[in-house]
């Protein structure tokens, strides 16, 4: 179908210039008004005082609530004096999917029966098995989970449980954010984001439908790329339940609009992203650094290792060795095409029968609508050459999103297995920020405060700059390695580490197992 004859040029449709004006005005609003709050709000907003001794602040639907630190039913068991006690050594043994214990605020919980029903998937639970999950629990779950769900899994207390001064201060920051109401989402902020998205999407579509100019069509491809990048930021917030703070509501609307307009499965992203947060930069466990055969950000990936996310082995075969050897040249071209891979990953998940996908039918329908409307839009273009150019241009420039995601982790520390440090040291070792002025916050969509986001994933994006101020003070107090660089230098850091690994890949020799390996890391990578 080709209806471009309905208009002979860019200016002949009177509504289109008006839409471009609306886009410009929206951009001004995003740059100078609807962005992150400044750190000074910490000093201007008085914290609410906890009234009862032993109470803490927790979050429900984005509202701070004062609750007892321990659920009533657990408190009664402890007061009875009949609670069993365990040592860390005993708890550490319960570290499999078939026997999975967590430690939360000094209590031991057997969640084995809940593993397959966990809304965030079984993987985050498995990666915290036999370990201290206090901070992961606090950052991902509202108050009602502590009171209504957690007590039934309570087994007893860990007698040698201790909290370091660093962790105590980190948890105090979270209490301060809650007491000041900073976990509360600004509805106006997101209404402005929806207007901003509409002001990008509508002109991009109308320019294709109503104009016969090839120049306009390519400009619309760039507009669509910008729309997909900005849509992903809102989808990211919905995926973390940091918009309405209701998991079902955010998941529903994220799927309806994200899947339909963006084509990337929100649930696939949640499974991958939740695992990434908990196992950030783990060779065997973090899917965000498992990109063989095209990328290897560290020589720890050479040889052969088993991915607990993908349930298969990765190895440096001849193809991987060749591609990784030139990965610093291939980085941007592959980032420009990465979106096509994400479409495929979503469909693979939907056709995987043993993966429990909430609202699977809705996921199927919403995912199927995306290629339909994209195909129909392309039918308005006059030739196959222009259609291919439009598709490639829109996807390539949308790839700036993938660059933004990777530069916060690719140049940071990587490790085998599970990180032995506490939650905050783990995130600081594996995550870096991208510095920018406030008027550029719209471009980075909150990803510039990647460290603060990893520490407080349900904190609304517009308050991350406030959290940054507090985390910086914490890093100074404990001499922590707080890494932050501007966008250009962050890209240079990433390319530098990729070039270093590429040069090492060229030296790999084929081992007896049939794949290319480094003798130094051969033993380490032989983990199953």
Give the H/E segment covering residue 158.
strand 154-158
pLDDT at 5: 42
Give the CA distances from residue 159 to residues 30, 102, 106, 109, 226, in Å, rounded to whole numbers and listed in that order: 51, 14, 8, 14, 53
> Contact 266/255 with Cβ under 8 angstroms?
yes
Q: How confident is the model at residue 509 (pLDDT cuts 50, 70, 90)?
A: confident
The percent of residues above 70 in pLDDT, for the chain, comes to 94
Tokens of 200: 């990008």
pLDDT higher than 80, residue 523: no
Q: Are 402 and 335 in contact (CB under 8 A)?
A: yes
- Residue 34 CB-density burial (10 A; 0-12 exposed, 13-18 middle, 19+ buried): buried
Give me the phi and psi of 499, to 5 degrees please: -65, -40
Q: What is the DSSP letter of 257?
A: I
Return mean pLDDT, the chain: 90
Q: What are the pLDDT digits (tens) for 333-352?
A: 999 999 999 999 999 989 98
Q: What is the reported pLDDT for 70?
A: 86
CA distance 507 to 299: 11
CATH 3.10.120.10 fits 55-164, yes or no: yes
Q: Distance between CA atoms of 368 and 255, rounded to whole angstroms? A: 12
pLDDT tops 50 at residue 7:
no
Tell me: pLDDT of 527 over 60: no
- The domain ranges of the chain are 55-164
Contact assessment for residue 134 and residue 184, using Cβ atoms and an 8 Å cutoff: no
pLDDT in tens, 301-317: 999 999 999 999 999 99
Q: Among all chains, which residue has been given the structure tokens 């040698």?
A: 160
Task: Tell me the per-residue pLDDT of 78-128, one tens digit each, with 9 for 90 and over.
Answer: 888 888 999 999 999 999 999 999 999 999 999 999 998 888 888 899 999
The pLDDT, as a whole number, for residue 522 is 45
Residue (of 313, 342, 231) closest to 525 by Cα position: 313
Residue 468 has a pLDDT of 96
Around Cβ 6, how many Cβ atoms within 10 Å?
Answer: 12
Cα dist from 41 to 36, 66, 338, 439, 475, whole Å: 11, 22, 39, 18, 20
Tens of pLDDT, residue by residue over 397-408, are 999 999 999 999
Is the pLDDT assigned to residue 4 strictly greater than 50? no
The answer for residues whose C-beta is within 8 angstroms of residue 378's C-beta and 6 or more apart is: 387, 390, 391
Q: What does the pLDDT read at residue 3?
A: 45
Contact 59, 458 (CB under 8 A): yes
- Spatial contact of 121 and 276, defined as CB atoms under 8 Å apart: no
Categorize the per-residue pLDDT at 11 as very low, low, confident or very high, splitting at 50, 70 and 90.
Answer: very low
Collect all residues with Cβ–Cβ distance below 8 Å to 224 and sequence separation of at least 6: 201, 204, 394, 398
What mean pLDDT comes out for the span 430-439? 95
Confidence of residue 76 (pLDDT cuts 50, 70, 90): confident
Span 10-24, average pLDDT:
67
Q: What is the largest CA-CA distance in the chain?
A: 83
The confidence band for 459, taking pLDDT boundaries of 50, 70 and 90, is very high
Position 96 scores a pLDDT of 93
pLDDT value of residue 429? 95
Contact predicate 427/451, CB 8 Å: yes
Q: Which two tokens stand for residue 128?
A: 């915290």
Alpha-carbon span 196 to 461, nearest angstrom = 16
For β-strands 484-486 and 433-435, DSSP reports them as: parallel
Q: What is the pLDDT of residue 198?
A: 93
The pLDDT of residue 517 is above 80: no
Tens-digit pLDDT profile for residues 378-420? 999 999 999 999 999 999 999 999 999 999 999 999 999 988 8
pLDDT of residue 73: 84
| CA dist list (Å): 45 to 58, 411, 474 | 18, 36, 20
Contact status, residue 434 vs residue 408, Cβ threshold 8 Å = yes
Q: pLDDT above 90 covers what percent of the chain?
A: 71
pLDDT at 518: 63
CA pair distance 222, 200, nearest whole angstrom: 10
Q: Look at 27-31, 89-93, 509-513 and tell me which has the smallest mean pLDDT.
A: 509-513
263-298 per-position pLDDT tens digit: 999 989 988 999 999 999 999 999 999 999 999 999
Q: Three-state DSSP class for 101?
A: strand
- 21 has pLDDT over 90: no
Q: Give the per-residue pLDDT at 10.
A: 45
Do 34 and 41 contact (CB within 8 A), yes or no? no
- Tens of pLDDT, residue by residue over 203-262, are 999 999 988 899 999 999 999 999 999 999 999 999 999 999 988 899 899 988 899 999
């Amino acid at each position: 179908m080709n209806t471009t004859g309905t208009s002979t040029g860019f200016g002949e449709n009177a509504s289109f210039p008006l839409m471009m004006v609306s886009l410009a005005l929206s951009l001004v609003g995003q740059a100078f008004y609807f962005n992150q709050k400044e750190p000074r709000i910490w000093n201007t907003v008085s914290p609410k005082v906890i009234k009862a001794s032993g109470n803490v602040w927790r979050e429900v639907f984005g509202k701070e609530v004062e609750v007892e630190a321990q659920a009533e039913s657990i408190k009664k068991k402890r007061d009875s004096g009949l609670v069993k006690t365990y040592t860390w050594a005993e708890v550490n043994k319960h570290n499999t999917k078939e026997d999975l214990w967590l430690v939360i605020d000094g209590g031991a919980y057997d969640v084995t029966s809940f593993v397959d029903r966990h809304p965030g998937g079984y993987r985050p639970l498995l990666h915290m098995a036999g370990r201290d999950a206090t901070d992961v629990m606090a950052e991902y779950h509202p108050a009602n989970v502590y009171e209504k769900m957690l007590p039934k899994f309570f087994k007893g207390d860990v007698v040698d449980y201790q909290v370091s001064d660093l962790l105590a201060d980190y948890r105090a920051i979270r209490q301060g954010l809650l007491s000041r109401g900073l976990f509360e989402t600004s509805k106006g902020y997101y209404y402005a984001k929806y207007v901003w998205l509409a002001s990008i999407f509508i002109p991009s579509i109308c320019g294709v439908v109503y104009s016969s100019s090839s120049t306009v069509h390519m400009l619309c491809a760039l507009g669509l790329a910008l729309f997909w990048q900005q849509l992903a930021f809102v989808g990211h917030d919905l995926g973390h339940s940091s918009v309405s703070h209701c998991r079902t509501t955010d998941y529903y609307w994220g799927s309806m609009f994200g899947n339909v307009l963006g084509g990337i499965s929100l649930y696939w992203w949640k499974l991958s992203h939740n695992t990434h947060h908990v196992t950030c930069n783990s060779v065997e466990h973090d899917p965000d650094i498992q990109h063989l055969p095209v990328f290897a950000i560290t020589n720890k990936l050479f040889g052969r290792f088993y991915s607990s996310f993908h349930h298969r082995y990765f190895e440096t075969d001849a193809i991987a060795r060749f591609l990784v050897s030139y990965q610093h040249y291939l980085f941007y071209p592959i980032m420009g095409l990465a979106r096509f891979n994400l479409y495929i990953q979503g469909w693979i998940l939907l056709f995987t029968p043993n993966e429990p996908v909430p609202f699977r039918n809705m996921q199927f329908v919403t995912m199927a609508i995306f290629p339909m409307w994209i195909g129909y839009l392309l039918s308005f273009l006059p030739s196959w050459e222009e259609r291919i150019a439009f598709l490639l241009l829109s996807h390539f420039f949308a790839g700036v999103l993938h660059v933004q995601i990777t530069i916060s982790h690719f140049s940071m520390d990587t490790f085998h297995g599970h990180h032995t440090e506490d939650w905050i040291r783990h995130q600081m070792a594996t995550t870096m920020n991208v510095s920018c002025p406030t008027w550029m916050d719209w471009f980075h969509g909150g990803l510039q405060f990647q460290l603060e986001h990893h520490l407080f994933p349900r904190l609304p994006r517009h308050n991350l700059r406030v959290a940054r101020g507090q985390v910086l003070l914490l890093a100074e107090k404990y001499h922590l390695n707080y890494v932050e660089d501007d966008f250009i230098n962050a890209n240079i850091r990433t390319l530098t580490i990729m070039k270093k690994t590429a040069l090492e890949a060229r030296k790999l020799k084929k081992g007896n197992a049939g794949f290319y390996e480094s003798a130094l890391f051969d033993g380490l990578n032989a983990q199953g």
